[in-house]
Amino acid sequence: MPDTQQFDLVVIGGGPGGYAAAFYAASAGLQVALVEKDTIGGTCLNRGCIPAKAFLETAAVARHVQHAKDFGIESSLAAIDFSIAQNRKQRIVDGLVKGLTGLTRSKKVTYLLGAGSLGPNRTVTVTASDGSIQTVQGRHVILAAGSVPRTIPGFEVGGPIMTSDEVLMLDRVPARVVVIGGGAIGCEFASTFADLGSQVTILEGLPKILPGLDADLANVVVKSFGKKGIKILTGAKVNGHTPVGDGSTRVHIEGMDDVEADAVIVSVGRRPYPDLLGLDGTQVRLSDRRFVEVDAYCRTGEPGVYAIGDLINTPQLAHVGYAEAVLAVKDLLGESPTPVQYDRVPWAIYCHPEVAWAGPDEEQAKAAGFDVVVAKHPFRANSRAQILGEIDGLVKIIAKKNPDGSAGQILGVHMVGPWVTEQLSGGYLAVNWEATVDEVAEFIQPHPSLSELFGETVLSLTGRTFNG
Ligand code: NAI
């Protein structure tokens, strides 16, 4: 095929998994093509993590203004012009898109705008929006086509019914918000809009919100959400909705009263998006749930073809996509990398209060057969938390019990409270270094700091404490 340009690596999908793979491979000296049909940065940058956190920061400013009086500063939250928050968010996103685009040039990655589909012999056909087609071939191919929001029957997107894609384009704060699904996305939006003055109701199908989270942490979130006036209805089975006429709608819930809303945010998970990848004539296989099937090194069934990120059945987190990108590139370079340890990756939910953890929670550790020692310390007693006026939350550490009953290896570090997404790194390191309580207790934390609570919780597991 004379028209087919050859590359060491062709990456399909320009989200965190895809661009990380492209740039990492380029920095290892490979000739790389990156195929993206829309905007580089993918869901995380354009329709996910970054814009959602930008709105959470607007919500934090509203909270600070509301509590400014406690610090002796007279002020009141007069009005919110959310269109300014929308523009600010978009400037941040556009700036980061520009940065990534610049990196494709400086790293000499060939950027191909169009939908990539994989055929036999690692040949990728790139179809641009004007219908023009070009073909490239990689010695290796990485599939990183990501995911899209799941929807539920009876809640087709349009008008007040939104997924995260539409919510992130809003230029007003809806007066009444119903969030269907109390997972990470649902809790982040519930927190944002409650802090901005919306009346928020979360409808969660299971018996509790954040179902995957350690119960002690989830309880703190539930209490804090209650203080914000967020109503949480669990065991809620939604049964469609009836538009009211003024742009709002009435959401029907089995066995419960209807809830009226100006915005209904459907956040019931994301599904993989292999839809445009072709794959005919290849050994790439999809599971029943349409995840691309891979081994521990992200290799698909087709020799030389890898899949990473939300396209495979691993935690749907941008930083897991980064890790899988590095893993796949090292593997194709023949560097014998270590597989990602998915049960120890860092998790972070940016609602207020924030949640962050690495390693198993108490129940999971016990279910895995570990005899454990657990310590929990509240932020209420931490000086920096009091200075900030942010005392809701705790640090919980799960350690292996030694034969003599003392606490040994740190298995899990779980945090809820102020800025814990920024504090997790010490805990993450301890879990992944397989460090013991005695080893970590030797490390010094700055005083006063929020991270002291991690240090004190570890210290208490040695059987001795400064306080408490
Ligand atoms: P999720 O899987 O975290 O939560 C979905 C929630 O919806 C669950 O609690 C589930 O029980 C509930 N649910 C499902 N169907 C329902 C129904 N018909 N009615 C009521 N409730 C229902 O999914 P989410 O929040 O949409 O996030 C998608 C992915 O993105 C997740 O894997 C998440 O980890 C990731 N993400 C991570 C973030 C972070 O780390 N900060 C932020 C946002 C998303």
Q: What is the pLDDT of residues 436-453, one digit of tens each?
A: 999 999 999 999 999 999
Among the ranges given (2-6, 201-205, 388-392, 434-438), the one the predictor scored with the smallest mean pLDDT? 2-6
Measuring CA to CA, which residue among 265, 90, 260 is closest to residue 193? Answer: 265
Q: Which residues have C-beta within 8 Å of that of residue 270, sequence separation ≥ 6?
A: 147, 148, 149, 150, 310, 316
**What is d(CA 200, CA 197) in angstroms, rounded to the nearest whole number?**
9
Give residue 466's pLDDT band: very low, low, confident or very high (50, 70, 90).
confident
Tens of pLDDT along 283-300? 999 999 999 999 999 999
Q: Cis ω on the peptide bond leading into residue 448 (within 30° of 0)?
A: yes
Does pLDDT of 1 surpass 70?
no
Q: Are both 5-149+272-342 and 161-268 of the same fold?
A: yes
Q: Does 350 sit in the ligand 1 pocket, CB within 6 Å?
A: yes
Q: Return the closest-CA partner of residue 320 out of 335, 301, 337, 298.
A: 298
What is the residue-averaged pLDDT of the chain?
Answer: 97
Does domain 161-268 fall into CATH 3.30.870.10? no
In angstroms, what is the span from residue 209 Cα to ligand 1's centroid? 10
Percent of the chain with pLDDT over 90: 97
What pLDDT is stored for residue 388 in this prediction? 97
Bridge partners (DSSP) listed for residue 110: 33
SS (H, E, C) the chain: CCCCEEEEEEEECCCHHHHHHHHHHHHCCCCEEEEECCCCCHHHHHHCHHHHHHHHHHHHHHHHHHHHHHHCCCCCCCCCCHHHHHHHHHHHHHHHHHHHHHHHHHCCCEEEECEEEECHHHEEEEECCCCCEEEEEEEEEEECCCEEECCCCCCCCECCEECHHHHCCCCCCCCEEEEECCCHHHHHHHHHHHHCCCEEEEEECCCCCCCCCCHHHHHHHHHHHHHCCCEEEECCCEEEEEECCCCCEEEEECCCCCEEECEEEECCCEEECCCCCECCCCCCCECCCCCECCCCCCECCCCCEEECHHHCCCCCCHHHHHHHHHHHHHHHCCCCCCCCCHHHCCEEECCCCEEEEECCCHHHHHHCCCCEEEEEEEHHHCHHHHHHCCCCCEEEEEEEECCCCCEEEEEEEEEEECCHHHHHHHHHHHHHHCCEHHHHHCCCCCCCCCCHHHHHHHHHHCCCCCCC
Q: From ligand 1's centre to the CA of 8, what distance in Å?
A: 37
Q: Is the pLDDT of residue 245 over 90?
A: no
Q: How confident is the model at residue 468 (pLDDT cuts 50, 70, 90)?
A: low
Q: Ligand 1 pocket test: which of 180, 201, 316, 415 has the largest number of ligand atoms within 8 Å of its C-beta?
A: 316
Q: Does the CB atom of residue 211 touch ligand 1 within 6 A? A: yes
Q: In this structure, what token pair is assigned to residue 407?
A: 């606490």
Q: Of all protein residues, whose CA lies closest to atom 19 belonging to ligand 1?
A: 205
Between the CA of 185 and the centroid of ligand 1 the distance, in Å, is: 6
Distance CA(110)–CA(33), nearest Å, equals: 5
Q: What is the pLDDT of residues 358-392, one digit of tens each?
A: 999 999 999 999 999 999 999 999 999 999 999 99
Q: What's the pLDDT tens digit per position in 308-354? A: 999 999 999 999 999 999 999 999 999 999 999 999 999 999 999 99
Domain ranges of the chain: 5-149+272-342, 161-268, 353-460
Check pLDDT > 70 for residue 181: yes
5-149+272-342: which CATH topology? FAD/NAD(P)-binding domain (3.50.50)
User: In this model, does residue 241 exceed pLDDT 60?
Assistant: yes
Convert the pLDDT of each residue in 81-116 to its tens digit: 999 999 999 999 999 999 999 999 999 999 999 999
The CATH number assigned to the domain with range 353-460 reads 3.30.390.30
Residue 321 in contact with ligand 1 by CB distance below 6 A: no
Q: Can you tell me the mean pLDDT for 418-424? A: 98
Neighbouring residues of 158: CB distance < 8 A, sequence distance ≥ 6: none
d(C-alpha 139, C-alpha 305), whole Å: 9
Mean pLDDT for 217-230 is 98
Q: Which amino acid residue places its CA nearest to atom 38 of ligand 1?
A: 184
| Res 2 pLDDT > 70 | no
Residue 213 Cα, ligand 1 centroid: separation in angstroms?
Answer: 12
Amino acid at 372: V
Per-residue burial over 262-294, b = 16 or more CB atoms within 10 Å of its CB, e = otherwise: bbbbbbbebbbbbeebbbeebebebeeeebbeb
What would the pLDDT profile of 248-259 be if each residue is shown by its tens digit?
999 999 999 999
pLDDT band for position 77 (cuts 50, 70, 90): confident
Q: Over range 22-35, report the average pLDDT.
A: 98
